[in-house]
Amino acid sequence: MTSSSMSRRRRFDVVGFARPLPPSCGLERGVLGDDDVAGPRGGDDDDDDDGDDVIVGEGGSFDRFALIVADDDLVGRDPSTSSRDGRRSHRRPPPTTPPTPPPPPPSLSPPPYPPPARLSRAHRSMMAKSSSMRRQRFVTGRYPLYVSVLRNPTNRFLGLAESRIYLNGTSIDRSLASYETFHWLDRDERRELHGEYEFLSLELLAEIRVRRPGYVNVLPGGGAGSSLLPSPGGQSSSGGGGGGVGGGIGRSWKRRRDEEDATRRARTAKTTTTTTTNDDARGTSRGERLWVTGFSLTNRRGEIHTLDVGTGVMSSANDRTTGAIGWPNGVTSIPRRLYAYDRAVDDRDDDRGGLDDALLIADGFLVPGKDKGGLYVVRNPGNGAYEWMDCLTGTTNLQGSPINVGESGDWFYHKATWMDLTGDGRLSILAARAKVGLRNNADSEGGKSFGKGQLVWLECPKPHSFVNGSGTPLDVDGTVFDPFNSRNTPWKLRVLDEGPDVMFSVADLDPSDDTIEILASQFFLKKVTLHSLKIGPNPKVVFSRTIDDRCGAAFSSVLADLDGLATSKQGTNPHGGPGQPGGTTGTVIDSGSTVVSLKDGDSFSHLLVTSHECSFVEGGSDADAKSNQDYATETPSDYGSPATTANQSKTDGGSLFAYRIPAGRGAWKSKPWPRSVVATGFKVEGHLSNMINPGAPGFCYTFFPTREGGVGKDKKWHRPLIGLSGDCAESAYILRPVEGGGISSPNGVDDGVDRSTKYSLMCEIKCQSTVGSLAIGYDDLYSADQQSGYAKIYVPCYEQDKVLVFSMGSGEDENFQLTDDGW
């Protein structure tokens, strides 16, 4: 790899496990440089004498690194000599080394200590879990935990992380919720607690250093960024680099482990290249990839970074892309084939379900200077000079910046999704856009709104012709048709309806007709609406209605199966659904969430909506998110106002609402959608950084603790967890279903209470910075110690320039032997 390409790629700065190193390791004395702790930051050469080269023994874990470094200090051996199996020591001596004093007489010499690197695996594991290197793990139970992630300058010099966890204001070492404290209980006591409270464990696994992280999303590794798959020796398979900082995989302080992993992955990829088409569609061929987008009020450039979860390699978009996309919001995968083919075509050519090495990025925000956004396609993202960007919503200049043509350049976008709207197999784009106007618009309460929104679709251009047999699309000159080529952009844009401005989801509430339903949250007009869109050569909205006009500034909206009865049989619910036993419910087309807990064709029971209200914390106290155990759920009082309540004061500040689909065929058109308050009381922290459009909470998500979700043997989790990004509340929240919830009556409501919406607070992670979104993945993060198959929660901390990674677990070690009764 050349020096220029190395400067564009780096190993992400994993600072987590946050376990302190022993004082004898020498870090507090400045023996090791920053590169030794957080990985290399530039193209440093191994043969210099700056004292910042580290070579680790086999395995190269955080624990062994700490032990091996401490070994030289404990034993007192000369650090300049070869020590372990002929490998060079971890630290170089300073240029001038004082003479070594003569050794003491043999009778006074201390007994030799065996080097920790030569201990058995069992003893090394025991030493790794000693009090001096304790992992920051804790268990959740019946009562909520308030997890504070605080900076600890002292810990910066004693360990691999700056952050330290406090549980309910108590140090994790002294908390009863500590994982180690929990395991002091005997086996019977732990079994009783697990059976009664459905214990889960959480651990601060890592911190990823990245500038101004706002949105995080986990996408399949077989799509965008797939050309960045590492090859042997730590080089990029593409030969380019996309990162804005230096270093490479071969320069890591875990060099030996990295090279072995890279060689193994490259060998696996080479042998499976011809058989991974269908795997790419499921995102299983190359694991998961984390995408992080960021923005700044003072810098016109955006931030677009990606992390290979399995290898720890981080790359960034090139300057041309970040210069054009100044406020990147959500990112979406792009299908490899945008056109349907006749079924007579050979199946080997029909890889419609695969993903392309490209991203669809929504850009823009309402702040001045950032309000002229668009939809961009970025090919080969993170791949240096091979990366290319096209704008689908307007014209750009030579530098890639949008050129405003009339009113078309004044809109910004948050969400876009791929969908066949014309019925001919072409995948067009359905999107919501917004703008801030000089003239105020009337909102749902008769007041004035300073913005407006539109539901739009961008038509995918038609090829000139198709090749007989293969179905390859051709352009007029006989070349392969490229819908993203400059000659075919911008795409033709049409307005479908007024109102939707931020987020939306798509469902089919009546499979017998030729329409699909868009459920949208309207931030500016403060309501939740439904739009029935007829599919055809000229798609149009044929029916619309307001679901709720008293919800406040609606922000996030996702489809959810809070009943725990989802099935992939096109909405047929074997348990009866929310309407009638054995009846038919709506099916998911696009859940609206970046966390995939419901797939295309699954049924759903509720629509989750966050009310992004601005209610400041009084007296500097912390915001409390109250669950609906404290606030009774709401039921409609009359037809004219489907979501009104007898007492609107049941909500306090920002809230999370759940709307149940009305029972009966076609009832979604005319009957009220019962609304329940899942959680409320989200307050904005009064900081200077929260003065621009403050509000809380942000996005909501449903997910399961394990990759298998509710279909595995663990029947306890047939109902999902709910994740919430606090946004200006500066926290992340995890809600758990309350025992005894779920559907029990024909219409899903008992005595005015929707039991499926009964959730309680599992934990609040207080980050002391804006949390704009969350991401959930299930792949193991690099080589960190973690329980495989459990959720990894990525929490961006905007002002602190880092992403926290929390790992879930069962509450027991993986090697814990189960008995016939589950223990």
Judged on CB neighbours under 10 Å (0-12, 13-18, 19+), 220 is buried
Tell me which residue of 53, 61, 64, 60 sits closest to 25, measured CA to CA.
64
Q: 588 falls in which pLDDT band (50, 70, 90)?
A: very high
Tell me which range, 59-73, 149-163, 228-242, is most confidently predicted by mean pLDDT: 149-163
pLDDT in tens, 100-109: 555 544 444 4
Return d(Cα 587, Cα 511) in angstroms, integer. Answer: 8
3-state DSSP call for residue 108?
Answer: helix
Residue 732 confidence (pLDDT) above 90:
yes
Residue 502 lies in a domain: no
Return d(Cα 520, Cα 257) in angstroms, integer. Answer: 48
Return d(Cα 422, Cα 179) in angstroms, integer. Answer: 55
Return d(Cα 783, Cα 116) in angstroms, integer. Answer: 20
Q: 163 falls in which pLDDT band (50, 70, 90)?
A: confident
Tell me which residue of 43, 54, 39, 56 sits closest to 313, measured CA to CA.
39
Tell me which range, 30-39, 112-121, 338-347, is most confidently predicted by mean pLDDT: 338-347
In the prediction, which pLDDT does 587 show? 93
**96 neighbors 156 (Cβ within 8 angstroms):** no
Residue 489 lies in a domain: no
Residue 63 lies in a domain: yes
Q: 718 falls in which pLDDT band (50, 70, 90)?
A: confident
Q: 31 falls in which pLDDT band (50, 70, 90)?
A: very low
In the prediction, which pLDDT does 102 show? 54
pLDDT in tens, 359-398: 999 999 988 888 889 999 999 999 988 999 999 998 665 5
**521 neighbors 554 (Cβ within 8 angstroms):** yes
More confident residue, 702 or 582: 702
Q: What percent of the chain has pLDDT over 90?
A: 40
* CA dihedral of residues 416, 422, 426, 429 (deg, nearest 10): -10
Alpha helices in 652-794 (DSSP H): 667-670
More confident residue, 600 or 625: 600
Residue 383 lies in a domain: no
Q: Is 364 left (phi over 0), alpha (psi -120 to 50) or beta?
A: left
The count of domains in the chain is 1
Alpha-carbon distance values, 576 to 238, 383, 511, 512, 558 (Å): 52, 50, 17, 19, 22
Count CB atoms within 10 A of the CB of residue 146. Answer: 16
Least confident of 31-40, 167-176, 529-538: 31-40
Backbone angles phi, psi at 685, to 5 degrees: -75, 130
Residue 74 confidence (pLDDT) above 80:
no
Token pair for 555: 């922000």
Compute the mean pLDDT over every residue in the chain, rounded to the nearest whole number: 71
Helices and strands (DSSP H and E) totals, the chain: 11, 39
Residue 778 lies in a domain: no
pLDDT in tens, 16-26: 333 333 333 33
Residue 451 lies in a domain: no
Q: Which domain holds residue 115?
A: 21-133
pLDDT in tens, 276-290: 434 443 333 478 999
**587 neighbors 566 (Cβ within 8 angstroms):** no
In the prediction, which pLDDT does 361 show? 97
More confident residue, 763 or 29: 763
Residue 55 lies in a domain: yes
Q: What is the mean pLDDT of residues 737-760?
A: 74
Q: What percent of the chain has pLDDT over 70?
A: 57
Alpha helices in 637-680 (DSSP H): 667-670
Least confident of 119-133, 416-430, 653-667: 119-133
Q: What is the mean pLDDT of residues 152-177?
A: 75
Return d(Cα 136, Cα 203) in angstroms, integer. Answer: 6
Q: 572 falls in which pLDDT band (50, 70, 90)?
A: very low
Identify the DSSP state of 178. Answer: B
Residue 291 confidence (pLDDT) above 70:
yes
In the prediction, which pLDDT does 100 show? 54
Q: What is the mean pLDDT of residues 318-343?
A: 87
Residue 791 lies in a domain: no
Q: What is the mean pLDDT of residues 353-363?
A: 90
Q: What is the mean pLDDT of residues 502-527?
A: 95
More confident residue, 588 or 445: 588
- Whether pTM > 0.85 for this model: the answer is no
Alpha-carbon distance values, 501 to 238, 308, 415, 743 (Å): 38, 32, 9, 33
